Amino acid sequence: MIETPDLIEEEEQDLFEHYRIVADKGQGLLRIDKFLMTRIEGASRNKIQNAAHAGNIRVNDKAVKPNYRVHPEDVISIVMATPPRELEIIAQDIPINIIYEDADLLLVNKTPEMVVHPGYANYTGTLLNALTFHLQQTDKREGVMPYLCHRIDKNTSGILLIAKNELTQQHLARQFFDHTIDRQYIALVWGDFKEDEGTVEGNIGRNPLNRRVMSVFPEGDAGKEAITHYKVLERFGYVTLIECRLETGRTHQIRTHLKYISHPIFNDEMYGGNIILKGTTFSKYKQYIDNCFKILPRQALHAKSLGFIHPTTGKRIFFDSDLPADMETVVEKWRKYSSFNELEEE
């Protein structure tokens, strides 16, 4: 018996599959790697074995190796990293900001407007095209190639974690699945918050009327569980700078959750942040907002930091990044605008 897999769509941030399988009462003693090949469509034996070596295959809540023999009524749980849609990756010499690299993985501080993975609308110019070129030039070992572990949107800047081999990817997939990856985002959002911190919970799924955008389903009748924690960093009156920490990695999770609580991200066109939601009706204020939008022609969202257990060393490591110039400039403009208004009121 196999239950419906918890399949993370390729557009979503975390790239893994979770399956739960219960062996039949009459199941013969069969190696678990062979057993799973017959139960999971498209899963190669090598991929299953890498998942086992990473500790991602558990029988009755205990990690097992590929040669484990399946017994009748065993309860099997497997987490497997899965690549996006199979497309040929063309190596391209594109400048990227690699902030850390070792034999197993690397981290990139992605610029806004760079797509992460090639798709049918864009085969070239993506982060994976650039990473493929980089690895071909710098690491000649067999099997080395960029393996995505998560994604961020085209117009979101910040840190991305990439594995160099499938075993490392499988190790990291488990951490994403177990929610032990520490991810901090910085967002400039519309409105002021009554509280200094809080949590947004609500299933996220595709809007039935517009499949390009996501919606919150608070009753849990659709979508998948999503949890976002936020904390106020600075208040500017009409907008607020906040920190967001993710427990889950759904498509557009932060953008969707913030819109749901009536604080859409500044200049997020898809979720209503590209119109003036707070402030005055004076023409000078409108001109000020328009100038901010020109400086920051995207959603004001940056993946600032990332912490995880290194799959090889077993040590927890942490990486941080500065806000990109466009976002930092707009935040500074709001600091000055807010300070000026406070002086005017005194």
Q: What is the model's pLDDT at position 85?
A: 55
DSSP string, 187-221: EEEES--SSSEEEEE-EEEEETTEEEEEEEETTSS
Note the pLDDT of residue 346: 36
* Side chain identity, residue 233: L
pLDDT of residue 3: 44
CA 81 to chain centre: 14
Mean of the pLDDT values across residues 132-155?
A: 92
Q: Which CATH number fits domain 6-81: 3.10.290.10, 3.40.980.10, 3.40.50.10210, 3.20.20.10?
A: 3.10.290.10
Q: Which percentage of the chain shows pLDDT scores above 70? A: 92
Q: Which pLDDT score is estimated for 14?
A: 66
Position 156 pLDDT exceeds 80: yes
| Out of 8-12, 125-129, 131-135, 331-335, least confident range | 8-12
Please report the pLDDT score of residue 211 as a whole number.
85
Most distant CA pair in the chain, distance: 81
As a whole number, mean pLDDT of residues 169-196 equals 94
* Percentage of residues of the chain with pLDDT beyond 90: 73
Pairwise pLDDT comparison (103 vs 10), residue with the higher score: 103
Average pLDDT, the chain: 90
User: Residue 123, Cα to own-chain centre: how many angstroms?
Assistant: 21
Close Cβ partners of 193 (under 8 Å, ≥ 6 residues apart):
232, 235, 240, 242, 263
> Is the predicted pLDDT of residue 174 greater than 70, yes or no?
yes
d(CA 70, CA 229): 40
Phi then psi for 309, rounded to 5 degrees? -85, 125
Question: Would you state the CATH architecture of domain 182-305+315-345?
Answer: 2-Layer Sandwich (3.30)
Mean pLDDT of the region 54-72 = 94
Q: Are 57 and 76 in contact (CB under 8 A)?
A: yes
Sequence-ordered alpha helix ranges (H) in the chain: 32-39, 45-53, 127-138, 166-177, 253-260, 283-295, 325-345
Read off the pLDDT of residues 200-212 as tens digits, 9 standing for 90 and up: 999 999 999 998 8
Q: Is residue 343's pLDDT more than 60?
A: no
Name the nearest CA neighbour of 185 among 226, 149, 233, 220: 233
Choice among 104, 153, 268, 326 that is catalytic: 153
- Would you place residue 320 in the very low, low, confident or very high pLDDT band (cuts 50, 70, 90)? very high
- The fourth-level CATH superfamily of domain 98-178 is Pseudouridine synthase (3.30.2350.10)
Mean pLDDT of 116-145: 89
Q: What share of the chain is helix, strand, coil (3-state, %, to 5)?
A: 25, 30, 45
Domain chopping of the chain, boundaries: 6-81, 98-178, 182-305+315-345
Apex 35 CA angle, 31 and 41, nearest 5: 145
Q: In whole angstroms, what is the distance from residue 46 CA to residue 44 CA?
A: 5
Give per-residue pLDDT as tens, 228-253. 999 999 999 999 999 999 988 888 99
- Written as one letter, the residue type at 281 is T
pLDDT digits 0-9 by tens, 298-314? 999 999 999 999 999 99
pLDDT at 213 over 90: yes
| Token reading at 128 | 């994976």
Number of helices (H), then strands (E), belonging to the chain: the values are: 7, 19
Res 194: pLDDT:
93
What is the C-alpha separation between 117 and 137, in angstroms, rounded?
20
Tell me whether the CATH fold assigned to 6-81 matches the one assigned to 182-305+315-345: no
Asked whether residue 184 carries a pLDDT value surpassing 60, the answer given is yes
Among the ranges given (3-12, 48-57, 313-322), the one the predictor scored with the smallest mean pLDDT: 3-12
Residues in the chain, how many? Answer: 346
Which amino acid, one-letter code, is at 210? N
Is 153 part of the annotated catalytic residue set?
yes
CA atoms of 157 and 232, how far apart (whole Å): 20
